[in-house]
Structure 1
Amino acid sequence: MKQKLADWRITIQFKWTCFLSLAIFIVFGLFATLVYTSVNQALLRSEENNVRDTIAAVDSRFNVYRAPLTKEQVQQRLAPRFNQKTLEQSGHGQFVTGDPEKFYHDSLSKQLARGDLAIVLYDVKGHPLFKAGQIDANFTDVTKITFKKEYDGRPSYLETTVPIHSSRTNKVIGYVKINDGLRSYHRAFQELNRRIILVIVFAVLLSLFLGYILTQPLVRRINQVNRTIDEINEDPDSQARIPKQRSNDEITDLVDRFNKMLDRMQEYTNQQKEFVEDVSHELRTPVAVIEGHLKLLQRWGKDDPQVLDESINASVSEVSRMKKLIQEMLDLTRAEQIEINYTKEVTEANETLEQAYNDFVMLHPDFKINFDDTVPPHTMVQIYRNHLMQILVILMDNAIKYSKDRKEMNLSASTADGMLMIAVQDFGVGLSQKDLQRIFNRFYRVDKARSRESGGNGLGLSIAKKIIEMYKGSITAESAVGSGTIFRVNLPLVKK
């Protein structure tokens, strides 16, 4: 059973629909509760005000008397048209009963016309003198307006007993007991409850609908991501990408990053294939050469000093080339670890540039090397010194190799916008736009035959680019066939 529950899949659409529906319903519930409470308080205040107004009307009717109230005074002030036949005897005295609408002919009738109010008038001893409506005529202690007989959290009626004071002597001349049956209050709440129930049902349905609608765009985008991933899993070389939307939100940012990640993965895959092909090709040639010479020596060449000497020299040359290739591959691998080991290293740019210039002037006296240095003295650049020297050697060595007709090279350095800007320009054969886009790829060589003759493996520019990027710099190339090439390097200076 537990395993079945664990394997039960709950979709994100279902979760978000329930979550949004619950959130909407809670907000509506809080709002409805607030409205319900406010209406309840407003209605109760209205009923209390009606009771107070009735008390004030009765008090204003009888406070003109000096002596305690009598049955005749009450009859005269409340029901002057009634005769003695309408009076009934009780165990405590005489009081009037009957339809209130027949004797409320003045302002007091405005308070009692609703039919919710009932009233009893007492003398100073608590004997009832007058009764109207459904009310207990027994005298009770003087109280404030009190809610009585609560049920379902709501009051059944309001009741109070207050004294009537003479406005002339300020003495108590009687009492009045008023009961409000709250019929209007209960009718209003019955209607409110019916409406609330209807609105709750509507709110539940609406919240479910809105929750479903609001989750649709999210689910749609997730399904697009899943479909794209499935296509790429089926075909790793697939160019499938997640369609872009016009919306500008977090999902769009996720889609953009995911597509960029796929592009980089595709690029790495292509480079890896090219890398494997080029490495196998580069190693196959020297291995085949060495194997051929060894077989030659094994058969009969070891007895011929000339053949033995040629085979040994050729094998040593191929072994040296393989050694250089392996070293460059190690350099490329180490360049990817710069961010971990060398990011805090700094170098004085002037001294390193001067040394690179002097070394190449000494090694290539037949070349004219122009050096334009406008870098301020003691300028510190954010790079390990050996790595800066390695970049300069790679670029200047390439300029020497591919400048066969015009043996001239320009080296310039300057600073601007917190960057050290280095330019290496040759006047060799130049590059086409197609080659220019690929010269930083591993093992890429424009002319493989000439590169092999000059000892190149097509890794130098890849190593330089990787080192520069690890130090948050940039390298670009500009070229035209027959007009030479210029490489521009930007490296960040040390912030003061």
Structure 2
Amino acid sequence: MRRRLTGSIQSLPIKWKLMLGAALLIFLLFASYNFAQYLVLKQWMMKQEEDKIQVNMVQFQDYFQDKLASTNDLQIADSQLYVEKLTGKNQLVRILDKEGKPLVSVSNHFGVSWVVPKPVVIPELYDMTHKEEHILIYRSPLVSGNFVGTIELASNLETFDHFSETLLWVMLIGGILAIFISGISGLAISRQFMRPIRALASTIRSVKEKGLSERVTDIQNGDELSSLAKLFNELMSQLEFSFLQQKQFVEDASHELRTPITIVEGHLSLLNRWGKSDPAVLDESLEASLQEVRRLKKLVQELLTLTKVEANLLSESTTSIQVEPVIHETIKRFEVLNPEFEFVENTKNISDVMLLMNSLHLEQMLMIILDNAVKYSSITKKIVIEGNISFNEVQINVQDHGIGIPEADLPFVFDRFYRVDKARNREIAGTGLGLAIAKQLVLNYQGNLTISSRESEGTRVQLTFPIHYTK
């Protein structure tokens, strides 16, 4: 039964769970407060009744002390009129002798038989029930002169019980009303609370049916749910951008792969038709095919490198390296390969800088940037490499004086396979993956890679890394 009830509650919609939770919480708080208040009020009212009967006892004690100073039992009975005057409604007053025989007995709407006479030697105060009657009894010894007896005062707590019962019912009805109101309020609050969640759910269904362009709208509460909706929209924008990038990547990769494959297929077809017996055609076709195969091999290698870099799967160890020697050695290699270029090296400012990275990765970044600088510098063959320190960062700048990059193309130069229109020709080798690899390598080392350029004036590439320490 308990499991079934728990399962039923767990299967309820969130708004009903919130409503029930709010109603239960209000009920517990209200019931605890009312119960404590009821007990306090009841004790306070009982104390008032006890104080009242004690005051009456003092009055009777004083009267009979004076009366009995020089009288006997018979004259005590003459005090009936005085006792009747002091006896209130729902009260009983009795004077007993030492054997417990009533000498004076006055009652007002009170059954004399409800309380059995009892002589006492010490005062006693208590309450009792007789059938349906709740009675407060106070007995006190009466000793004066030659007289020894007992004064009995009894009060019917009918008014007290009626007030207590009324108070209890008022609190119970108030509790029920509070539960009802809290339930309605909880339902209203839960509906308001669930509105953004329903909007999120609806948007997710729309994304499933219509695609990643759907967004959550009309949530301007300024609360955590509004922040969640904003975060969801940002996530969907990133996902949409990633899917578009992936789609563009597939299209560009297909384009880059299709061209060399088509060339190889054309030359093989040429050889198959009539080139087998023509040495000139055979040599030309084999050379062109080998060139395209090498290009395909390079493209595949760069794709694998980019995948590893983006997943941060490169396993080379990371150590503290000195920056300047790596830059110097890389420039020397390019000077050998490109003797017609002038490489100006100005890295004295960073001669003592140490970076926490793999030296091969730094060399790969520099080679990618220098290779682009060489490929796109056709007239002024001068490349400047500078090193500076700014705050706690090292900056490596590579400036060429080549054809530059149009301003409209600058935001896309780090995209995979992206090549500026001027460079989209077969004369300038490249796959369009170099800067994407360099950018990801820089990010893996908490650095930054920026490019500024002007057409026909040149391009400036800046690498920035946090300094590990200086020697």
Question: How high is the TM-score relative to the length of structure 1?
Answer: 0.83
Q: Which of residues 330, 338, 342 is equivalent to 1:364? A: 338
Distance 1:259 1:150, change over 3 A: farther
Q: Which amino acid aligns with 2:205?
A: D
CA distance in 2, matches of 1:68, 1:493: 114
Per the alignment, residue 416 of structure 2 pairs with 442
Q: Which position in structure 1 is the counterpart of 2:117?
A: 138
**Partner secondary structure for residue 10 of structure 1:** coil
Task: Report the Cα distance in structure 1 between the residues aligned to 2:434 and 2:306, rounded to whole angstroms.
Answer: 9
Whether contact under 8 Å (1:409, 1:427) holds in the other structure is yes
Query: CA-to-partner distance for each residue in 1:160-187, whole Å, 9 max, x for gaps?
Result: 3222355xx8x98431122221122112
Counterpart AA for 1:477:
I
Of 137, 142, 148, 2:128 maps to 148
Match of 1:73 in 2: 76
Residue number in structure 2 paired with 1:159: 137
Gaps (5+ residues) in structure 2?
A: none
The residue that corresponds to 2:360 in the other structure is 386
Show the counterpart of 1:334. Answer: 308
Q: Structure 2 vs 1, CA of residues 317 and 129 (structure 1 numbering), >3 Å: closer, same or farther? A: same
Deviation at 1:214, TM superposition (A): 1.5
Q: 1:17-416 counterparts in 2 under 5 A?
A: 17-64=19-66, 65-66=68-69, 70-73=73-76, 75-76=78-79, 79=81, 103-104=84-85, 109=86, 112-113=87-88, 115-133=89-107, 134=110, 135=112, 136-139=115-118, 141=120, 144-149=124-129, 156-166=134-144, 173-236=148-211, 238-243=212-217, 245-338=219-312, 341=315, 345-373=319-347, 376-416=350-390
Match of 1:476 in 2: 450
* Mapped partners of 2:315, 2:446: distance in 1: 14
Distance between the aligned counterparts of 2:314 and 2:192, measured in 1?
A: 41
8 Å contact from structure 2 (residues 95, 104) kept in 1: yes
CA distance in 2, matches of 1:495, 1:68: 114
In structure 2, distance between residues paired with 1:207 and 1:26:
12
Worse-matched range after superposition: 28-37 or 132-141: 132-141
More displaced stretch, 311-320 vs 337-346 = 337-346
Find the residue that maps to 2:78 and give its secondary structure. helix
**Quick one: structure 1 residues 477 and 54, their matched pair in 2 at CA, closer, same or farther if it must change by over 3 Å?**
farther
**1:60 deviation in Å?**
2.5
Q: Which amino acid aligns with 1:12?
A: I
- Contact kept, 8 Å, 1:412 with 1:422, in 2: the verdict is yes
- AA partner of residue 399 (structure 1): A
Runs of 4+ with deviation above 6 angstroms: none
**Native 8 Å contact 1:422 1:490 kept in 2:** yes
Taking structure 1 as reference, are residues 43 and 229 closer, same or farther at Cα in structure 2, changes over 3 Å only?
Answer: same
What CA deviation, in whole Å up to 9, does each residue of 1:27-58 have, x standing for no partner? 22222222222212211222222222222222
Aligned twin of 2:431: 457
Distance, in Å, in 2 between the alignment partners of 1:339 and 1:20 is: 51
Judge conservation of contact 2:350–2:387 (CA < 8 Å) in 1. Answer: no
Matched residue SS, 2:339: coil
- Equivalent pairs, count: 459
Report % sequence identity. 29
Residue aligned with 1:156, SS: strand
SS in structure 1 at match of 2:435: helix
- 1:162·1:176 contact (CA, 8 Å) conserved in 2? yes
Mapped partners of 1:374, 1:226: distance in 2: 59
Mapped contact 2:399–2:461 kept (Cα < 8 A): yes
RMSD: 3.1
Aligned-partner residue type, residue 149 of structure 1 = T
Q: Summarize the Cα distance change of 1:159–1:278 in structure 2 as closer, same or farther, 3 Å threshold.
A: same
Alignment deviations for residues 215-263 of structure 1 (CA, whole Å, 9 cap, x no partner): 1233111111111112211222x42211263434332332232222211
Deviation (angstroms), 1:344: 5.7
Which whole-Å deviations, capped at 9, do the CAs of 1:180-224 have from their partners, x for residues lacking one? 211221121232133223312211211111111221233111111
